Structure 1
Amino acid sequence: MADKELARVRTNFVAKVSKAVIKQLLDDLLEDRLLNDGEVDSVLEDNTGRADMARCLIDTVKRKGDKASRKMIEHIEKRDSALYAELELSSGPKPVAAPKKQKTWSDKLVPMTDSSRQEKMNDSDIYKVSETSLKSRVALLITNRNFTDNNLTRKGAEKDEENMEELLSSLQYEVVKHNDLTAKNIEKALREFTTHPKLKDTDSVFVVIMSHGKRGVVLGVDHREDKPDEFPVDKIYKLLGPQKCSALMDKPKIIIIQACRGATGGAVIVSDSVEAEVVSDEERQEPPPRAGQIVEDSLRYVHKEKDFISLLSSTPDTVSYRREDLGSFLIQYIAEVFNTCSHEDDIDELFRKVMQRFEEFPDETKRQMPTKDRCTLTRRFYLFPGH
């Protein structure tokens, strides 16, 4: 026990500790709230000599028990390591930290409480959300699965589409869906979306695009090596910006891109299950892998418009992965985090938690880290689930 350690070294401590160290120890213990102001004053003012101060200090702390004694020993080591060594002190074994509780992820949306909802609706630091705007929410969801080049078929993309549509619908967004678009038709779908009648009353929009890709572009379904079919990601921000879509001015625009941003990375994940292998969405991948593999997706973009926040599925020049049986890791994690945490966290924090999920990737041979890119939100944005 640490208090017995102090008792053992009391005589030598009193004889050898300096006045400067006594004052430092008093400050440390006061900061730890193990001594109060009165006790500190008593040590300094009721004792005229250094030895008396030392004696009063060690006796006061020793009477407070093991925790206080252990902290004092730790502070002695920090303030005067030579004295610590000479006294042959030990604070004993450090208490074992309780194991970190594993997060349980919900597959259904956890609703925001009425009190939290009311508080956030009246907070000027939060983007305005009202009962009317909640009923006018709209999202664009583009999923490219089937390509002219059959080698580029994105198995598992249908699961991503299902997961995103379910999540957005549960958050009261009307989901405008498109499938298997060329680059030209991706732009056309975005232009049509900017004229949607609900935009003038909505509080926000989501734009989710899932395809193959590479740095700066998403690939259309007619893409070939000798005849590229590429949609520049930067056009999203131009088309949704204030010059092209005034209805969305000062409203959050949340962009999610599930596509590679390059070809770096792509070792095969070794799995215990044939149905759970990993493939990528980088367009130059090998012929279609077996069922359950993960695919890579590449891209990079720049945007300067206000009130955007974007989550890209990987860092520049790297691949992102999906499982053909469960869909991409990004979309899986977005659904889990949003369902579990959107009742208490804003969109920026939700994206951070999604990124945190990738710190422990399902396979040691692969790494993927989504990128939260160029956030220009000026306030916090909450999704208000359940209302």
Structure 2
Amino acid sequence: TRTQDMLQPNQSDGKCRSMTRSSQEFKHKILQEMGDKASITVSVTRSQRKGSALLITNIVFDYEENNRDGAEIDEENMEWLLRTLGYHVVKRRNLSGEETDREVRNFSKLLSEHRDADSTFVVIMSHGERIDNRDAILGVHYHQSRNPNDVYFVDKTFSHLNSGNCPSLIDKPKVILIQACRGGHPGGVEVRDQVPESDSWVHREKDFVCFMSTIPDTASYRNTKTGSHFINYILDVFCEWAHKDEIMELFWKVTNRMATCPGRTENKLLPGLERTYLPKKFYLFPEL
């Protein structure tokens, strides 16, 4: 049974989403135009892809006011997208900060799966906050006064998957998607799209791209009926353009659509790319 038939999600207009198929002719054309393999990540076809993706979604929290209504839609949508792209999805739900850290670390140790993979995705969706100028994912036991330490810092993901701790993913794209607030401010005010430079050596974090739902110090938004705006824009763009665009172009299209979305005033949305270094173009070639 095709993945689309099992999990096919709907667009905001009620129509079913479908992934535009790539073609062997296009893949051959791209490889010829790029000249040599030094400038492109040669992705396998969907049917050959053996890579895994980690999907973590926090929906139900200890304190009911923190529950993320509609987040299950994001989970379904992302699982459909990742499976459609050919990834085996490791799905986890409702984790503490410590459990999130353990799951990401365990995922980095899937040596046999990563060794045969061409790439990987890590997707984390929860509440978020900026703590001491670091992006933090809030665990399900978090409370600002009663349990403020139940967090997972996003930068740990880079440590778990870097060349030293996950050598089986060296020279392979590692795509990190974060759907979470990065502060409480609305996006319609003036914010600085800057974070401190990383102290990590470039070669230890090679082949990473981290796409976050907002820029620093800014809130993210979710519709309880259709899911988060960020995830919906990703699905729309990937379904329409992943058959011909490399991943940085896809993320640029997502950013452009979010930046120019009509009808939003104070609640402006603008995603951010963080700690990104992809020396090669990465094409997903869906549905080959």
* Counterpart secondary structure, 1:372: strand
- Specify the alignment match of 1:273 in structure 2: none
Please state if 1:367 is matched with 2:281: no
TM-score in terms of structure 1 length: 0.62
Per-residue deviation, 1:132: 9.1
Could you tell me whether the CA contact under 8 Å between 1:209 and 1:258 is conserved in 2?
Answer: yes
* Counterpart secondary structure, 1:310: strand
- Specify the alignment match of 1:295 in structure 2: none
1:382 aligned to which of 265, 279, 283: 283
Could you list the structure 1 runs, at least 4 aligned residues long, displaced by more than 6 angstroms after superposition: none
Could you tell me whether the CA contact under 8 Å between 2:187 and 2:268 is conserved in 1?
Answer: no
- Quickly say closer, same or farther: Cα 1:362–1:174, change in 2 above 3 A: farther
1:201 aligned to which of 93, 116, 139: 116
Q: Residues 159-174 of structure 1 correspond to what in structure 2 (within 5 A)?
A: 159-174=73-88
Per-residue deviation, 1:133: 8.8
* Counterpart secondary structure, 2:210: strand
Q: Flag structure 2 segments of 5+ consecutive residues without an equivalent.
A: 1-14, 189-194
Could you tell me whether the CA contact under 8 Å between 1:132 and 1:201 is conserved in 2?
Answer: no
**Residue-by-residue CA offset, 1:29-67 (whole Å, 9 max, x unaligned):** xxxxxxxxxxxxxxxxxxxxxxxxxxxxxxxxxxxxxxx
Please state if 1:114 is matched with 2:24: yes
Per-residue deviation, 1:335: 0.4
Q: Residues 57-96 of structure 1 correspond to what in structure 2 (within 5 A)?
A: none
* Counterpart secondary structure, 1:185: helix
In structure 2, C-alpha distance between the alignment counterparts of 1:335 and 1:164, rounded to whole Å:
8
- Specify the alignment match of 1:323 in structure 2: 223
Per-residue deviation, 1:106: 8.0
The residue identity in structure 2 corresponding to 1:218 is I
Could you tell me whether the CA contact under 8 Å between 1:159 and 1:326 is conserved in 2?
Answer: yes
In structure 1, C-alpha distance between the alignment counterparts of 2:212 and 2:185, rounded to whole Å:
16
- Specify the alignment match of 1:23 in structure 2: none
Per-residue deviation, 1:225: 1.2
- Specify the alignment match of 2:5 in structure 1: none
When the two chains are superposed, the root-mean-square deviation of aligned CA atoms in Å is 2.1
**Residue-by-residue CA offset, 1:264-306 (whole Å, 9 max, x unaligned):** 1289xxxxxxxxxxxxxxxxxxxxxxxxxxxxxxxx7856511
The residue identity in structure 1 corresponding to 2:247 is I
In structure 2, C-alpha distance between the alignment counterparts of 1:366 and 1:383, rounded to whole Å:
32
In structure 1, C-alpha distance between the alignment counterparts of 2:262 and 2:16, rounded to whole Å:
19
Higher RCO (CA 8 Å, separation ≥ 6 residues): 2
Could you tell me whether the CA contact under 8 Å between 1:145 and 1:155 is conserved in 2?
Answer: yes
Q: Residues 277-316 of structure 1 correspond to what in structure 2 (within 5 A)?
A: 302=198, 304=202, 305-316=205-216
* Counterpart secondary structure, 1:374: strand
Per-residue deviation, 1:118: 2.3
* Counterpart secondary structure, 1:190: helix
- Quickly say closer, same or farther: Cα 1:337–1:224, change in 2 above 3 A: same
Q: Residues 51-62 of structure 1 correspond to what in structure 2 (within 5 A)?
A: none
Please state if 1:143 is matched with 2:57: yes
Per-residue deviation, 1:259: 0.3
In structure 1, C-alpha distance between the alignment counterparts of 2:276 and 2:16, rounded to whole Å:
27
Per-residue deviation, 1:149: 0.8
In structure 2, C-alpha distance between the alignment counterparts of 1:177 and 1:158, rounded to whole Å:
12
* Counterpart secondary structure, 2:157: helix
Larger Rg: 1
Could you tell me whether the CA contact under 8 Å between 1:141 and 1:178 is conserved in 2?
Answer: yes
Per-residue deviation, 1:131: 4.7
Q: Residues 3-14 of structure 1 correspond to what in structure 2 (within 5 A)?
A: none
Per-residue deviation, 1:135: 2.5
Q: Percent identity?
A: 39
In structure 2, C-alpha distance between the alignment counterparts of 1:178 and 1:361, rounded to whole Å:
34
In structure 1, C-alpha distance between the alignment counterparts of 2:238 and 2:187, rounded to whole Å:
28
- Specify the alignment match of 2:137 in structure 1: 218
**Structure with the largest fraction of helix:** 1
- Specify the alignment match of 2:246 in structure 1: 346
**Residue-by-residue CA offset, 1:67-103 (whole Å, 9 max, x unaligned):** xxxxxxxxxxxxxxxxxxxxxxxxxxxxxxxxxxxxx
Could you tell me whether the CA contact under 8 Å between 2:255 and 2:270 is conserved in 1?
Answer: yes
Per-residue deviation, 1:368: 1.2
Per-residue deviation, 1:192: 1.3
Q: Flag structure 1 segments of 5+ consecutive residues without an equivalent.
A: 1-104, 268-299
- Specify the alignment match of 2:66 in structure 1: 152
**Structure with the largest fraction of strand:** 2
In structure 1, C-alpha distance between the alignment counterparts of 2:263 and 2:114, rounded to whole Å:
39
Could you tell me whether the CA contact under 8 Å between 2:242 and 2:250 is conserved in 1?
Answer: yes
